[in-house]
C-alpha cells in the first residue's frame, strides 16, 4: 500500500474544510470555488463525477458489491458533449474489482478526495471528504482546529522547491526518481506537470527559487500570471526569433493535445521547434541535465 502512505503520515484526525473555514474564512471562500474542491462530486443518480469540468468529467458507479464501472463516455468542455473516455476502446466502459490488489478504483478516489476513503457496509467506497480540500495539502488538522498553533499544522511555505514538486506530485505524479526512465514522447505524460517541470533548466538552475507556487496560488484557480514570473528572472531575453508581443509561455510552455479534446501546458520550460520539419512540442531542443 505504498500509494496511500502519504495519507497516513500523521496520526491526527481529519477535521474537514468546514471546520477550517470557521477561522480561515477568506481562504476557505476562494478554495471552495476551485477545480481542486470540485474534483469529485456525487450526482443525484449516484454516479460519481470525477473532474471539475475544467476539461472533462468521467463518471464512475458501483455495479455490485465487488465491482465498479468507469463509464466509457466522458463529458468534454471543448465539445460540450460526450466522447470516449481516455484509454477506453469502446463505450461499454471498464470494470474494476473494488478489492483488486492494484486498488485502481480506490486510487481514483484517493487523488480526487481528502482524508482516507472508507468502504461501508454495502461495500461502497465513501470518500471522507470529496474534492481536494485543506487537509490534502496541510495534513490532518483536528488537533490544530481544536488548539490552533503553528506547530500542529503543516505549511507548505516551509518546503523547498524540490519538496513542493514532491507534495503536488503525490497526485500530479512524482518527478522521476534517479535512473528511472520517463517516456517524454508520450503526449499523455504532459498531464504530469512535476515530471516535466523537474527537467526544466529554470527549475534546475535557479537554486530553489522556482516552484509550482511561483505561478499557482494554491487556494485559487486564477489564470496564471506566468509572464511576470518569466520576466523576473529573464528581464531581457536574447532572441533572434521575432517574438512580437506573444506570451512567453505560448512558445516556451506550448500546449500539447494528447487528444483533440484535451490540452496541457508543457511544464518543461524550454526552447521548442513549434512548426515545420522536426517540430516537437514534447521535448525542448536543448535539454536540461535531468535529476
The correct pick among 4, 23, 100, 279 for binding ligand HEC (CB under 6 A) is 23
Q: Whose Cβ is closer to ligand HEC: residue 123's or residue 285's?
A: 285
Q: Does 236 bind ligand HEC (CB under 6 A)?
A: no
Range 87-126, binding ligand HEC (CB under 6 A): 107-108, 111-112
Q: Does 7 bind ligand HEC (CB under 6 A)?
A: no
Shortest separation between residue 120's beta carbon and ligand HEC, angstroms:
19
Contacts 24+ apart (CB under 8 A), 90-94: 93/69, 94/69, 94/70
Contact (CB, 8 A) for 169 and 143 = no
The correct pick among 122, 149, 180, 181 for binding ligand HEC (CB under 6 A) is 149
Other CB atoms closer than 10 Å to residue 16's CB: what's the count? 18
Q: Whose Cβ is closer to ligand HEC: residue 121's or residue 180's?
A: 180
Q: Does 70 bind ligand HEC (CB under 6 A)?
A: yes
CA-based Rg of the chain, rounded to a whole angstrom?
20
Q: Does 168 bind ligand HEC (CB under 6 A)?
A: yes
> Three-class SS of residue 129?
strand
Q: Which of 239, 2, 200 is closest to 101 using CA atoms?
A: 2
Range 244-283, binding ligand HEC (CB under 6 A): 246, 248-253, 262, 264-265, 267, 269-271
The correct pick among 47, 191, 283, 291 for binding ligand HEC (CB under 6 A) is 191
* Distance separating alpha carbons of residues 223 and 244, to the nearest angstrom: 22
Contact (CB, 8 A) for 69 and 94 = yes
**Cell 503520515, residue located:** 9
Amino acid at each position: 500500500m505504498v500509494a496511500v502512505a502519504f495519507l497516513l503520515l500523521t496520526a491526527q484526525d481529519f477535521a474537514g474544510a468546514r471546520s477550517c473555514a470557521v477561522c480561515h474564512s477568506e481562504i476557505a471562500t476562494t478554495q471552495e470555488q476551485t477545480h481542486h474542491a470540485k474534483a469529485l462530486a456525487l450526482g443525484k443518480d449516484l454516479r460519481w463525477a470525477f473532474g471539475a469540468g475544467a476539461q472533462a468529467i468521467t463518471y464512475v458507479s458501483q455495479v455490485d458489491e465487488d465491482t465498479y464501472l468507469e463509464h466509457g463516455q466522458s463529458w468534454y468542455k471543448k465539445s460540450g458533449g460526450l466522447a470516449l473516455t481516455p484509454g477506453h476502446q469502446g463505450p461499454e466502459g471498464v470494470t474494476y474489482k473494488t478489492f483488486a490488489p492494484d486498488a485502481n478504483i480506490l486510487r481514483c478516489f484517493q487523488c480526487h478526495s481528502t482524508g482516507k476513503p472508507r468502504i461501508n457496509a454495502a461495500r461502497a467506497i465513501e470518500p471522507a471528504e470529496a474534492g481536494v480540500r485543506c487537509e490534502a495539502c496541510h495534513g490532518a488538522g483536528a488537533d490544530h482546529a481544536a488548539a490552533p498553533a503553528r506547530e500542529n499544522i503543516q505549511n507548505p511555505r516551509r518546503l523547498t522547491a524540490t519538496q513542493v514538486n514532491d507534495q503536488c506530485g503525490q497526485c500530479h505524479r512524482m518527478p522521476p526518481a534517479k535512473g528511472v526512465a520517463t517516456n517524454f514522447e508520450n503526449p499523455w505524460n504532459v498531464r504530469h506537470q512535476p515530471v516535466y517541470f523537474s527537467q526544466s533548466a529554470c527549475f534546475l538552475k535557479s537554486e530553489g527559487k522556482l516552484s509550482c507556487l511561483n505561478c499557482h496560488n494554491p487556494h485559487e484557480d486564477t489564470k496564471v500570471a506566468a509572464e511576470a514570473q518569466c520576466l523576473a528572472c529573464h528581464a531581457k531575453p536574447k532572441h533572434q526569433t521575432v517574438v512580437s508581443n506573444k506570451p512567453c509561455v505560448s512558445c516556451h510552455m506550448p500546449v500539447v493535445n494528447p487528444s483533440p479534446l484535451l490540452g496541457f501546458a508543457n511544464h518543461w520550460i524550454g526552447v521548442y521547434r513549434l512548426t515545420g520539419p522536426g517540430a516537437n512540442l514534447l521535448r525542448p531542443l536543448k535539454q536540461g541535465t535531468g535529476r
